[in-house]
Amino acid sequence: MRNAFGDRPGPYVIGHRGAAGYAPENTMVSFERGIALRADAIELDIHPTSDGQLVVIHDPTLERTTNGHGFVSTHSLAEIQALDAGSWFDPSFQNVRVPTFREVLEWARGRTKVVVEIKQGPIFYPAIEEMMIAVLDQAQMRGEVLVISFDHHSVRKVKQLAPEIATGVLYAGRVIDPVGLALAAQADALMPYWPLLTKEEVAAAHAAGLLIGPWGGAEQNYEYILATGVDAVLADFPDHPRTVIEQQQAAGR
C-alpha cells in the first residue's frame, strides 16, 4: 500500500474542498483555512478547461459556485478565472477566484498533502489522467498526493500510468467485496460513504493492507467514524474531527 500521508500514524484529517464549511469551497482561501484548522491534507476536485488547463472546481458546470454559466470544459482558463467564486458563499468573499490545479500544488508543496478527486460523468474527460500527472510532475508532487475518484476506471488508469502515485476508490453503497473493489482498480485506499461504514469493512481493509477513510458532508458523526478505526476522515469543518481525535487520545482510546 502506498500511503500519501507518510509515516505518521493516523487518523488523518482531510479538509474537504479545503474547509468548505467555513469558506467558499475549492478556493485558496478555503485551503488556507483548512491548514489553519490543522488538517493533514486538503481535498480538491479537478476539471479541464477548453484550452487544456486543469482548474479546481467541484461541479462540471459553473452556476453553483461562481457567477458564470455553462460547462467548465467549454470555457477558457481566462474566462473561468474572471469569475467570482466567493460571493455565493458570503459577500465577504467577493471576487475570490477559481484556482488552477498547478497553483494549488505549488502552494501545497512542502506545506500539506493533497487529495485529488478526478471528476468524471456525466461528461467524461478521456485524457484527464494524463493531464493531471503532467501537472503533478511540473510541481514535483507525485509522492505528495492521493488520487481518488468514483470512476474506478480513472483510478486504475492513473495507477497504470504512474504506479508510484497513491490512489483510492470512492463509493456510496455497501458493496459486497470492498477489498475486491480496490484490487480491481489497483487502488491503495477505500473511500466509502460514512453512514454505511462498518468496523468489519475497516478490519477487512486493514487486513488487505489498504488505507480506509470515509467521506461525507457536514453531518458526519465523527465519534462513530473514528471508533471504527479508520485511517482518515474528510471534513467540511476540519476542526470538528480534530477535536474528537484529541478527546479520544486524552481519554486513552
- The tens digit of pLDDT for each residue in 95-119 reads 999 999 999 999 999 999 999 999 9
179 within some domain: yes
62 within some domain: no
Known catalytic residues? 16, 58
Residues 6 or more apart in contact with residue 238 via CB below 8 angstroms: 13, 14, 15, 16, 19, 34, 37, 38, 39
Instruction: Work out the average pLDDT over 47-73.
Output: 98
Span of 45-59, 155-169, 237-251 with lowest mean pLDDT = 237-251
pTM: 0.96
Instruction: Work out the average pLDDT over 81-101.
Output: 98
143 within some domain: yes
Per the prediction, the chain carries an average pLDDT of 96
75 within some domain: no
* Set of cell numbers at residue 92: 465577504
58 within some domain: no
242 within some domain: yes
86 within some domain: no
Per-residue pLDDT at 1 exceeds 70: no
* Set of cell numbers at residue 81: 478565472
What distances in angstroms separate CA 47 from CA 36, 60, 129, 205, one per listed residue? Answer: 26, 7, 11, 30
Tell me the CATH number at 156: 3.20.20.190
Domain residues for the domain of 114 are 12-45+101-250
Concatenated DSSP letters of the chain: ---TT-SS-SPEEEETTTTTTTS-TTSHHHHHHHHHTT-SEEEEEEEE-TTS-EEE-SSSBSTTTSS--SBGGGS-HHHHHTS--STTT-GGGTT--PPBHHHHHHHHTTT-EEEEEEP-SSS--TTHHHHHHHHHHHHT-GGGEEEEES-HHHHHHHHHH-TTSEEEEEE-S--S-HHHHHHHTT-SEEEEBGGG--HHHHHHHHHTT-EE--B--TT--HHHHHHTT-SEEEESSTHHHHHHHHHHHHTT-
pLDDT on residue 3: 76
Domain count within the chain: 1
Instruction: Work out the average pLDDT over 82-87.
Output: 98
7 within some domain: no
